[in-house]
Amino acid sequence: MDCSGEFIAFAVETGVLRFGEFKTKAGRQSPYFFNAGLFNDGDSLNRLSAFYARAIIDSKLPCDMLFGPAYKGIPLVAGAAIALAQKGRNLPYCFNRKEAKDHGEGGMLIGAPPAGRVLIVDDVISAGTSVRESVELIRAAGATPCGVVIALDRMERGQGELSAVQEVQRAYDMPVVAVATVDDLMAYLGGRAELAQNLRAIDLYRQQYGIKK
């Protein structure tokens, strides 16, 4: 099993990826739900961080540091930085506050000062709001956003024909790297007879909302 397949199996095993009926932010009834907030203990965060590190290294995307948008991106960026350092690639990282601090060190950012090419580390891209805010913060600090790495790309349309990921790629002219995609999810389900019902449901959902390949 490749990295993407291993990640899907891990997400199912931990209950982070669930099957059933779930309402998305867009008001759609989805047959699956991915909640990265459920990677909520030391072991699962450690394993998740290793997947992020592998995706970043495999992408060969040149970057000088990492940025995690508050709030879910904070443990993700710290974990990814640790996992990369363990693989011999030591990168500085920072994250933002939701509200500026007016005492102590002050400001909106915590960690290393943004510099050079900055890779944004997040869980998923839904409406692209956190990416937009991250890009603005990085540019305001005089650095250059160079890409985004996420855990799962749902590969479904936003308001138009493009997915949220494709909209980000077009709006900011930078790549989005996903640890896994819904294609990987379907490949995982296809090899398991006990999950065939979920595969059929996701296939029907993709026919209705999926992007054109």
DSSP letters spanning 116-155? SEEEEE-S--SSSHHHHHHHHHHHHTT-EEEEEEEEEE--
Choose, from 25, 60, 98, 103, the residue flagged as catalytic. Answer: 103
Task: Please name the amino acid found at residue 12.
Answer: V
User: Catalytic: 101?
Assistant: yes
- Tell me the whole-structure pTM to 2 decimals: 0.93
Of 100 and 140, the structure prediction assigns the larger pLDDT to: 140
Mean pLDDT of 122-138: 92
* AA letter at 181: T
Nearest Cα to Cα of residue 51 among 9, 86, 6 = 6
pLDDT at 100: 62
The per-residue pLDDT for 105 is 54
The verdict on whether 103 is a catalytic residue reads yes
pLDDT tens across 160-209, in order? 899 999 999 999 999 999 999 999 999 999 988 888 899 999 999 999 99
Q: Which domains does the chain have, with CATH numbers?
A: 3-209 (3.40.50.2020)
Is the pLDDT assigned to residue 98 strictly greater than 70?
yes
**Could you check whether the bond before residue 32 is cis, i.e. omega within 30 degrees of 0?**
no
Count of CB atoms within 10 A of residue 173's CB?
A: 8
Each residue's pLDDT tens digit, 8-31: 999 999 999 999 999 987 889 999
Return the structure tokens found at 202.
């996701």
Q: Which residues pair with 176 in a beta bridge?
A: 148
Between the CA atoms of 166, 168, 174 and 177, what dihedral angle is there, to the nearest 10 degrees? -60
